[in-house]
Amino acid sequence: MKAILYIGHGTRSKKGAEEARAFIERVIGRIELPIQEISFLELTEPSIEEGFKQCVDKGATEIIVVPVFLLAAGHIKTDIPQVLSLLQVRFPHIAVQVKDPFGIQEKILDAAAELVSDAAGALEPQDRLLIVGRGSSDPKIHDNFAIIAEGIRNRLGVNHVSVCYLAAAEPRLQEALQTICVKNDGRTIVVPYLLFSGMLIGEVNQEVLKRQKLGFEILGTGPLSGHQMFENIVVERAIGK
């Protein structure tokens, strides 16, 4: 019997965890399969091990693993495969198929640009965007975000789009905000390239608020999961399209 195991990142934020669960539960409601379980890599329960075992206990003989992650960095390349490899040793009779993360797709860039437009209204060429990534030690992270930044810039018609990170890569958020606010003669729109609310988006919002109080014309957008497209992509991954 086939099962689907969804894996989210996890967060210390109660709001962020609830948001991720609600997102995955909406996906589950759109798929006609009796065994579907939610799990998280870290910080939030249930764990991957617990979710996997729930699938097995309910009679699964094949488990489709759907990572609810944006890009293929260390968690996708190393952490999740390590956990799954140990589980496959424990349950050798279970066939496991792991789907790809979201990756960089034209429809994702369309959705991200729409979220910016919804939050900021019509943009002028002199407005500047700052895209904020989670960050990773994976060297490909900069290449990925260069493509993301250029794709969003082309869709919105602004002259300048910068990228910064919250951890493990440079430049960091505070440095990038300082640079962009001083140089900018239009608005600054901060775009967290994160799926759900949580501690990281809270950090971004705090930095935006600080600069608003200093008189800068700056605003932030919400998490990417606010656009229906991201839910649609997880459904497509889960059912094999």
pLDDT at position 103 over 70: yes
pLDDT bracket for residue 8 (50, 70, 90): very high
At residue 137, the pLDDT reads 86
Mean pLDDT of the chain: 94
At residue 23, the pLDDT reads 97
- Residue pLDDT, tens place only, 182-235: 877 889 999 999 999 989 999 999 999 999 999 999 999 999 999 999 999 999
The predicted model gives 115-133 an average pLDDT of 95
At residue 241, the pLDDT reads 58
pLDDT at position 104 over 80: yes
CB 163, CB 149: distance < 8 Å: yes
At residue 194, the pLDDT reads 96
* Full-model pTM: 0.94
pLDDT at position 28 over 80: yes
- Residue pLDDT, tens place only, 135-194: 998 888 999 999 999 999 999 999 999 999 999 899 999 999 999 988 778 899 999 999
Half-sphere exposure (Cβ direction) of 228: Cα atoms closer than 13 Å: 1
